Chains A and B, each alone.
Chain A
Amino acid sequence: MNPERRQLLGWSVAAAAGAALAPGLRLVELALARSPEEAASALQRWGLLIDVAKCADCDECVTACRDENGWTGLGRPATDAQWIRKVSLRDRATGHVQTLPLMCQHCEHPPCVDVCPTGASFRRADGIVLVDKHTCIGCRYCVMACPFGARSFIHEPVSGQKPDVPRGKGTVESCTLCVHRVDRGERPACVEACNRDGRKAMLFGDLNDSSSEIHRRVRTEPSTALRPDLALNPGVRYQHL
């Protein structure tokens, strides 16, 4: 289906849903939808809530991210891009092992943005941290500054990029929270895959929207940020860690 047709369908579905629902009730999709002409707004703060207790030993999220964003590896683990990876944590005292997906944490105060000499690393109004590859000079300061090791550098020429995900040699990249999907009113590919083929450990939504599930859950259930000592206030939070 071409994008225009999809968009038109999306709008008509949204309009129909809006008409069918009682005032005050909103579908999640309707709440997420933003017109393509409209700029991202600071009224929203996109975030992820990951329940580590539900996260199994699968890597559906990693596979989905790779397929969506086209960062297939070249079989060189030292230099291959990694937008998201599965990390295993073992409690030294008890030997209890947990596994969780780790990606850009989309911090409110991102160290990668602080150190970028050209302003290429930036935080969008709605909280998504991105690299503007048009101005990235490939210095990799952000790679060093990120406490989560979330950023990768592209060492080799790239071809066969996805139309929505430009990638090129000499620039830094990381999880974009599937910004192209979010702008269409969809969920990130990892969340989609986790809820379809995985164990529904990942939840995506607007942390600022009081009617969203993620807002309700972070308010009513305990969750934690990785490296809370750094006070970065990430948009990605974990439960049962």
Chain B
Amino acid sequence: MSAPPATSRWGWAIIKKGNWAPAFAGATFLVVAATLAGAGVADGPVIKIERGEACVAPTDEMRRNHMRMLFHQRDRTMREGIRATRFSLKGCVDCHASAKTGSVLGEEGFCSSCHAYASVKIDCFECHTPMRQAGFTSRP
């Protein structure tokens, strides 16, 4: 009977003896290496808010519920013609578009960077323009 591959035999030998420490150290090393390699991803989204004193709701609420606000507003505007500005997508873009590109998309785009980080695909900007309109002044 031929011998099993060296790595496999090593692994099994260690565990059979009940000595877990080298295996644990190996696993820790792998995790640390993976984290370092993926450091770019773990950095978090780019959140640069260029304009406006405060958002339409507290940050915590916005983080959790902005999609519901937009969804609600979307149907009211489209179906009933209610054009309240508080939760309008145009309003979001006007404050949150990057000063450099004028857009909420792109590498540093407020919408795209966070959704890329959270691995959420949005299709708002398949139809709506991601660009801020005229009249921009940067926040002091």
Report which of B74, B84, B126, B133 forms a contact with A163, defined as CB distance below 8 A: B133
User: Is there a chain B Cβ closer than 8 Å to A133's Cβ?
Assistant: yes
A residues in contact with B81, CB < 8 Å = 34, 39-40, 124-126, 179, 183
Is B82 a contact of A168 with CB atoms below 8 Å?
no
How many inter-chain residue pairs (CB < 8 Å) link A and B?
57
Closest A residue to B77 using CB positions? A183
Count B interface residues, CB 8 Å.
20
User: Is there a chain B Cβ closer than 8 Å to A221's Cβ?
Assistant: no
Is B127 a contact of A133 with CB atoms below 8 Å?
yes
User: Is there a chain A Cβ closer than 8 Å to B78's Cβ?
Assistant: yes
Q: Tell me what chain A mostly uses at the interface: helix, strand, loop, or mixed.
A: loop
User: Is there a chain B Cβ closer than 8 Å to A92's Cβ?
Assistant: no
CB-based closest 10 A-B pairs: A168-B127, A40-B81, A166-B127, A39-B80, A36-B83, A168-B126, A166-B128, A161-B129, A2-B135, A132-B78
Contact surface of B with A, Cβ cutoff 8 Å: 74-76, 78-85, 90, 93, 126-129, 131, 133, 135
Known contacts A125-B81, A134-B78, A157-B126, then 19 further A-B pairs from the complex at CB < 8 Å, ordered by chain A residue: A4-B85, A36-B85, A37-B84, A125-B80, A132-B78, A133-B127, A134-B75, A160-B129, A161-B127, A161-B128, A162-B129, A163-B90, A163-B129, A163-B133, A166-B127, A166-B128, A171-B127, A179-B81, A183-B81
